[in-house]
Chain A
Amino acid sequence: MALMPKRVKHRKAQRGRIRGNATRGNRVVFGQFGLQATQGGWISAATIEAGRIAAQQYLRGEGRLYIRVFPHKPITSIPLETRMGKGKGEPEYWAAVVRPGTILYEIGGVNEDMAKICFARLAHKMPVRVQLVKRHAGT
């Protein structure tokens, strides 16, 4: 099932602007390799889930996948063939707000070749440009 918050303070949220680069969540910390967004955007809960399935089907129980983003933002929409006005639309789906530099997924326990192929399959699902990064050694 797609990710979603358990409890929220408000049902709807304003759209907001994605400004600047990620200053947190931009390092590989759990696995050895990470998939880093090089563009900003919204990643829906369904897309995050599709990425997870694509990666886990390739990994087949080998290695471990970590999801580093969570869809906190409710996205609303107005139904088709509806006249404008009459207030804000109803929540349709949940999305994660991603800034350039955010690590989306991480993989541990596999070699680099396998991680590359896995992330290449996963990258096709993503609505933002991504790149593979490795964990920094020491210091």
Chain B
Amino acid sequence: MSTRARFAAGVLPYLRGECLPRVTGAVFLDNLLDSYGVGKVGEAMTKAEVLNAEIRDTRGTRAARRMRAAGKVPAVLYGHGQEAVSLALPADRLAAAVRHGHRLLQLQGGVNEQCLIKQLQWDVWGKELLHVDLTRVYADERVKVEVPIELHGEAPGIKSGGVLTQVLATVEVECPAAAVPDKIQININHLEVNQALTVADLDLPENVKALTPADEIVVHCPEAVEAPEETTEGPAEPELIQRQSGEAGEEG
């Protein structure tokens, strides 16, 4: 079911007031999240987002620009030893899928294949997608992906004068293609000053194995260091790198 259809089926009855008297707030929120295809935090995005893919024959910058102006994103599909196929995907649907953390896509239309988002190219402002690399996968195939890490809770170390510093923003994991988590949480509720949490402390879902070394620090809370006293002393001008006299002679 498409995102638009899910939205219509899941949210519109609530907005019309048809369902409100019969559901509690929590159920409403769950349904709302389900309708957007957003799972619970840390939960795998098991549903593949269905996108209509067109095979594209055009190549080059100008054709790609025209395509983007028409609301499509150029993409390439490769993998499994088969030939690479150039595609055009609907920009709005693809952006929504990316925003909601989907990694697995089900392509329909020009090609009927399941694929994983391998790489995204963004514009300067990081708002519009310029190009997408897709790789063919089977649902049960184990894949290696980078998953963002999300801090959960409040570290007591901050109140004791520590500075919370997230060193690692993403972690590389290996998991079935159909069970790629949208994010991985780490609980920092017990993080005191001068303590650190490592990759080993991540709450990994079932079937998900971290490939990043287990002893790598994810987040730590060192003591806040006072800025050194401002000194007005020091050179007013930087040192000039002088040429060797021998070099100058050779050139001259």
- Which residues of A come within 8 Å of B, CB atoms? 1, 4-9, 11, 21-23, 26-27, 32, 36, 56, 61-64, 91, 100-101, 108-109, 133, 135-139
**What count of chain B residues pass the 8 Å CB interface test?**
34
Q: What is the CA–CA distance of A91 and B230 in the complex, to the nearest angstrom?
A: 23
Q: Is B69 close to A, CB under 8 A?
A: no
Q: Is B19 close to A, CB under 8 A?
A: no
| Contact across chains for B238 and A8 when beta carbons are under 8 A apart | yes
Task: Tell me the chain B residues, 218-252 only, with Cβ under 8 Å from chain A.
Answer: 224, 227, 230-232, 234, 237-241
Q: List 9 A-B contacts (CB under 8 A).
A: A5-B238, A11-B237, A26-B124, A61-B161, A61-B163, A109-B163, A109-B165, A135-B169, A139-B98
| Contact across chains for A21 and B124 when beta carbons are under 8 A apart | yes
Closest partner residue, chain B, to A52 (CB atom): B227
Task: Tell me the chain B residues, 157-186 only, with Cβ under 8 Å from chain A.
Answer: 158, 161, 163-166, 169-170, 183
Chain A residues near B122: list those with CB within 8 A: 136
Q: Is B21 close to A, CB under 8 A?
A: no
| Contact across chains for A100 and B124 when beta carbons are under 8 A apart | yes
Q: Smallest distance from the beta carbon of A40 to chain B beta carbons, Å? A: 12
Q: Smallest distance from the beta carbon of B112 to chain A beta carbons, Å? A: 23
| Contact across chains for A133 and B126 when beta carbons are under 8 A apart | yes
Other than the known A7-B241, A21-B124, A61-B161, what 19 A-B pairs have Cβ atoms closer than 8 Å? Answer: A1-B231, A6-B239, A7-B240, A8-B238, A8-B241, A32-B166, A63-B163, A91-B237, A100-B124, A108-B164, A109-B163, A109-B164, A109-B165, A109-B166, A133-B126, A136-B122, A137-B183, A138-B145, A138-B148
Q: Is B117 close to A, CB under 8 A?
A: yes
Chain A residues near B183: list those with CB within 8 A: 137-138
